[in-house]
Structures are given as structure tokens and as C-alpha cells.
Amino acid sequence: MALEKPYLDVPGTIIFDAEQSRKGYWINQFCMSLMKAENREKFKANERVYLDSWPMTEEQKQAVLARDLNWCMRTGGNIYFLAKIGATDGKSFQQMAGSMTGMTEEEYRNMMVNGGRSIEGNRFIGEDGTAQAQHQPQGSAGKTAAQKA
């Protein structure tokens, strides 16, 4: 019998459950290794070589190299682990969270200063809030990236 997962209909959200954790074991353990200064140095010196020393999938490595945190999460990454990559890059939690929305740092910061993202329309998939699939990417950073691609 399948487990009950009542959280699958929350828009723009991946819940790090047992299934995601199993998928993401090595990408998250790689992230843990960045808590040691010497490993941060090794990673920065040659990211690809350092990543190849971990039994991660090629997709997980590509997601890390691209610093695409949404992609990392789809492959089983968890934000508290992925935050170690951001820390290695000198990024704050706000910069990391903002990067997942398609907003520029300034756009995201302004949203937070103005009270944060509204819950209205963002409770269930299929509503019309800012986090819904039909409104992605949300900001000018994401739109510029989409045009380039």
C-alpha cells in the first residue's frame, strides 16, 4: 500500500521525504563534506574533479555545476544540505532561496521587506498565486536566462 503524501499538491514545493532522501543520499553527503575548509578548497580548485570523487549521478553533478538549486532538489537534494554549496560560494540563505524563484537578488529582497510572498493562491496547485507553474519564472533574472536559452 502506498504511503499517504498529502503534501504533493502544494505548489512550488518539494517535501524532503524518505523517497527524496534515498534518491539524494550522495548529493547531500557531498554537500556535507563542504563543512570542512580543506574540502571547500578542493572543490573550488576543480569542481568537476571533486564531484567525480563522489558516487553521485551525472545529473546531480550537472545540477551542482549549474548551481541550479531547483534542479538539485529534484534529484534529491535538500536545502539545508545544499546551503553548504552556497556557503562555499559566499552566498547567504536569502540569495540561495531567491535564486530558486527566478527573481534577482534585489527583487527577492524587496518582496521580503514588503511582507514576503503572499499565501493567497499559493496553497494548492491549480490556484493562481505567484508560486504556480504558469507564473514561472517570476522575476527578471529568470526571464533573462530564458531568453538566452
Please identify, using beta-carbon distances, which residue of 57 and 70 lies nearer to other proteins: 70
Grid cell 527577492 in the structure block, residue: 108
Residues that bind other proteins (CB under 8 A): 6-7, 10-18, 21, 24-25, 28-29, 31-32, 34-37, 40, 69-70, 73, 78-81, 83-84, 86-88, 92-94, 96-98, 100-102, 108, 111-113, 115-119, 122-124, 130-133, 135-136, 138
Alpha carbon 93 to chain centroid, angstroms: 11
Q: What is the torsion angle, in degrees rounded to the nearest 10, for the CA atoms of residue 30, residue 34, residue 37 and residue 38? A: 20
- Supply the minimum distance, in Å, between the C-beta of residue 58 and other proteins: 20
Please identify, using beta-carbon distances, which residue of 61 and 139 lies nearer to other proteins: 139
- Supply the minimum distance, in Å, between the C-beta of residue 104 and other proteins: 13
Please identify, using beta-carbon distances, which residue of 62 and 89 lies nearer to other proteins: 89
Q: For residues 81 and 72, is the Cβ–Cβ distance under 8 A?
A: no
- Supply the minimum distance, in Å, between the C-beta of residue 89 and other proteins: 10
Q: For residues 78 and 69, is the Cβ–Cβ distance under 8 A?
A: no
Distance CA 13, CA 118 (A): 15
Secondary structure letter of residue 124 according to DSSP: S
